[in-house]
Structure 1
Amino acid sequence: MPTTRRRAPLAEQRRPRRGMRRLLTRLVLLLFVVAVVGAGVVGIRGLLHSFAGPQCRATALGKSVTFDPSQTAYAATIDAVAEKRGLPARAATIAIATAIQESKLRNLTYGDRDSVGLFQQRPSQGWGTEKQILDPVYATNKFYDALVKIDGYEQMRITEIAQKVQKSAYPEAYAEHEQEGRLLASTLSGHSPGGLGCRLKDATDGKPAALRSALATELGVTSSVKGTTLTVRAGSERRAWAAGAYAVAKAEQFGATSVTVGSRTWSRTTGADGWSWQAARTAVGKDTVVVRFAGAG
């Protein structure tokens, strides 16, 4: 009788060999370990993010820079004074970059020889008294007074400007902070709407009247206060974003819990949402800013 041979099973019908099964098992285990480790890293980053101290971030031109709230508040003053004086955005960029180089955006009571303040100006060199220089608004105005005397400063390299204004022995160092100055100036002046956000702890005390005074003194805009709400009619959309960014930058100081400009709102939080503006629950006019406080003190 003819012998009937059994056909070899098709490839998809064959059982995996032991070696193949082991390989698949190891691959599954490896993927599982990678997933667990990845989740752990994300979790750790989340924890670190949550427990990190208060921070502010300026984002413009596809780039970001981060400073603490105190530094950002001083940058807001420097930009606001430029806005009030009607100076171009380049002036604020130069001034902020200079303050980063000179004091790391701190209002220092000490420095080289008799240098003090944001720009490390010296009483002995005619910048004013020590008390005057330690007033950020005064110091900023004095810096701009010297800056505008330089013909063509808007087109000059910041190293040249630093040499002329600050009489620096290391003018090249200022160039390292030009991009940081530009990002802060762009967001604070409203040229990059919604580009500035701060992650902050809950406010314990709101000071709307103090913010109203600061807006008038530094930025030159008027506002009204009703209870725990401050309202600015800025006159233009960009100016509204400048006032809104100023309010966010000063939120740690004055206790603001939310800032609304047009259809966007910044809300105070310790999470990553504090770095961005969300759709407003109740929109306001494009040239209007509404700042809310938890409780006025």
Structure 2
Amino acid sequence: MSEPSPSPKRPGRLLRLGAAFVVLLAVAGYLVVQYVTGASGSGCKVVAGDGADRTYEFTPEQAVNAATISAVGTARGLPERAVTIALGTAMQESALRNLDHGDRDSLGLFQQRPSQGWGTEQQIMDPVYSANEFYEHLEKVPDYTELPLTEAAQLVQRSGFPTAYAKHEPDAQLLADAFTGRSAATLTCAGRPDTTQPQGQARAAGPDAVRSALVRDFGQLEQTGAEVSADGQGTPSPSPTGVTTETSGRTVTVPVTPDTNEASGSTAEERGWQVAHWAVANASALRIENVSFAGRQWTAGTSDEPWTTVDAGDDTSRDAVRIVTAR
């Protein structure tokens, strides 16, 4: 009598190998998504300036939008409280993303509706326009700076969930402290130059792109010194009044002065940190390599590292922000 054949094992082994391969593919796909969206070390983080154990982590896309919302508010001469309310509102409405969809015809960072008179679809999808519209309506709310964030936001938004904004107040305050310059050296980003551009906000790289983005978010800038041309040669560029930018090679220098507006009342150092944190938030989109101000420096690729102290002899000062772009 012949011996019985051994039980077939190959199909089961193949099934296990196939299942393991599927798992590996899923993990690889997850890592790719994390890389693209800015998570897993490629994103941004804000820490509390008072040493408290509070942090807020977000993607480069969200950081760009938060920086824009804040810059528009400070450019309007509004107090930090207005910026906090705007950031908390956008956190609830869009998670700080410039959405091209929403409930009914709601769009953009604040989910504003063209049918309700907030502007055209194209206008609302412009973060600077939508932020200005929000602030314009907020300024009409009596004593809005004295109201809880959720009440002030609701009086502007008329949401079906009037208390939903409240949960975002602590994080919105943390971001506002950084982007209005009240907290120094508290925002870091990986600044990876190959990060996918935020939806609707793809930007070119280089010093010209940095200056254009500064104008876009902060308003009119004065450009003195030399413009950078294609051959690297500079030509003088007189400009209107406002904040000054100077360009030398890959470096954009933004001298800072105190804000004379009584509502915002920013000091020169706070104004400098407004620009410095804005530049860090835009590092991936604009291919910014490092930012220095007030004896501190941030360098791309160090999202988990704090701003470093630079030697007194290095090219940095307390009266100008220096932004160095990639080659």
TM-score range, shorter chain: 0.7 to 0.9
Secondary structure of 2:164 counterpart: helix
Distance 1:271 1:74, change over 3 A: closer
The yes-or-no answer on 1:122 pairing with 2:129 is no
The yes-or-no answer on 1:280 pairing with 2:279 is no
2:60 to 65, 69, 76: 69
TM-score norm. by structure 1 comes to 0.78
- 2:46 aligned partner, one-letter code: A
Contact 1:92 1:185 in 2 (8 A): yes
Match of 1:150 in 2: 141
For residues 80-126 of structure 1, give each alpha carbon's deviation from its aligned partner in whole angstroms, at most 9, with x where no partner exists.
00110000000010001100100000100000000000000000110
Secondary structure of 2:168 counterpart: helix
Match of 2:218 in 1: 219
Secondary structure of 1:269 counterpart: coil
| Separation of aligned partners in 2, 1:280 and 1:82 | 31
- 1:117 aligned partner, one-letter code: G
Match of 1:228 in 2: 250
Contact 1:56 1:69 in 2 (8 A): yes
For residues 2-28 of structure 1, give each alpha carbon's deviation from its aligned partner in whole angstroms, at most 9, with x where no partner exists.
xxxxxxxxxxxxxxxxxxxxxxxxxxx
- 2:250 aligned partner, one-letter code: T
Provide the aligned C-alpha RMSD in A. Answer: 1.9
Q: Which moved more, 1:260-269 or 1:194-203?
A: 194-203
Match of 2:46 in 1: 58
Percent identity, please: 45
Q: Which has the higher helix share?
A: 1
| Separation of aligned partners in 1, 2:326 and 2:118 | 40
1:201 to 192, 203, 211: 192
| Separation of aligned partners in 2, 1:84 and 1:162 | 20
Structure 1: runs of 5+ lacking an equivalent: 1-47
Q: Which moved more, 1:263-272 or 1:218-227?
A: 218-227
2:287 to 251, 255, 273: 255
Contact 1:206 1:228 in 2 (8 A): no
1:135 to 126, 140, 146: 126
- 1:288 aligned partner, one-letter code: A
- 2:177 aligned partner, one-letter code: S
Contact 1:56 1:198 in 2 (8 A): yes
TM-score norm. by structure 2 comes to 0.71
Match of 1:243 in 2: 275
Q: Which moved more, 1:142-151 or 1:225-234?
A: 225-234
Distance 1:91 1:271, change over 3 A: closer
| Separation of aligned partners in 2, 1:260 and 1:247 | 10
Contact 2:252 2:322 in 1 (8 A): yes
| Separation of aligned partners in 2, 1:121 and 1:194 | 33
Q: Which moved more, 1:67-76 or 1:215-224?
A: 215-224
| Separation of aligned partners in 2, 1:99 and 1:159 | 12
- 1:150 aligned partner, one-letter code: V
Match of 1:189 in 2: 180
Q: Which moved more, 1:108-117 or 1:204-213?
A: 204-213
Match of 2:86 in 1: 95
Match of 1:40 in 2: none
1:216 is displaced (CA, Å) by 2.3
Q: Which moved more, 1:208-217 or 1:174-183?
A: 208-217
| Separation of aligned partners in 1, 2:149 and 2:309 | 38
